[in-house]
Amino acid sequence: MDHEKFARIYKKEVGIPFSCILRPNLINAEKIKFLKHAGCVAITLAIESANESIRSVILNRNLSSAVLSNAISILKSEGIRIHTQNIIANPGETFKMAMETFNFNVQHMVDFAECFLLTPYPGTDIYEYCVENNYFDGNVETLQKSYWLGSYIRFDSKREKRRLINFQKFFSFGVQHPKTLPIIKLLIELPPNNLFVLFNRLYDSWRLSRFLKATFSIRSYLVTVRNNLKYILSYFLTKNGDWSRSFKQ
Global pTM reads: 0.88
Alpha carbons 84 and 98: distance in angstroms, whole number: 15
What integer best gives the mean pLDDT of the chain?
88
pLDDT at 241: 44
Fold of 3-248: Transcription Regulator spoIIAA (3.30.750)
User: Tens digits of per-residue pLDDT, 220-236?
Assistant: 767 776 776 776 666 65
Q: What letter would DSSP give residue 192?
A: P
User: Tens digits of per-residue pLDDT, 140-183?
Assistant: 887 776 777 888 899 999 999 999 999 999 999 999 999 999 99
Angle between helices 95-107 and 158-176 (to 10 degrees): 10
Structural domain spans, the chain:
3-248
pLDDT at 38: 95
Query: What is the H or E stretch that residue 152 is in?
Result: none
Q: What is the mean pLDDT of residues 106-123?
A: 94
Residues 6+ apart with CB under 8 A from 207: 112, 172, 176
pLDDT at 139: 86
In contact, 75 and 32? CB cutoff 8 Å: yes
